[in-house]
């Protein structure tokens, strides 16, 4: 599943249009759609999407011993 697919599914499950999501994160639908087509949505944008929709976004590396290295972990 691509990042764009995940964003579309998130919007669907949250009953929000992609245009409304763009409004909430301060981007035009045209600009954001281009980013989704190119798969160039940034980490900061993903965090903004999570904040706007009041969901949790997680990104991490998981080592073989189970240790997680993630946003906010140093």
**Is there a contact between 42 and 34 (Cβ–Cβ < 8 Å)?**
no
Q: What is the pTM of this model?
A: 0.84
Q: What is the tens place of the pLDDT at every residue in 35-60?
A: 999 999 999 999 999 999 999 998 88
Model pLDDT, residue 74? 46
Angle between helices 43-53 and 3-13 (to 10 degrees): 10
Q: What is the mean pLDDT of the chain?
A: 93
Query: How many other CB atoms are there within 10 angstroms of residue 47's CB atom?
Result: 14
Q: CA-to-CA distance for 27 and 29, rounded, in angstroms?
A: 6
């Amino acid at each position: 599943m691509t990042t764009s697919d995940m964003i579309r599914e998130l919007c669907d499950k949250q009953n929000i249009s992609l245009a409304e999501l763009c409004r909430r994160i301060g981007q035009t639908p045209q600009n954001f759609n281009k980013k989704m087509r190119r798969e160039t949505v940034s980490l900061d944008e993903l965090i903004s999407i999570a904040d706007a929709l009041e969901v949790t976004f997680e990104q991490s590396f998981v080592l073989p011993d189970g240790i997680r290295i993630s946003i906010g972990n140093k």
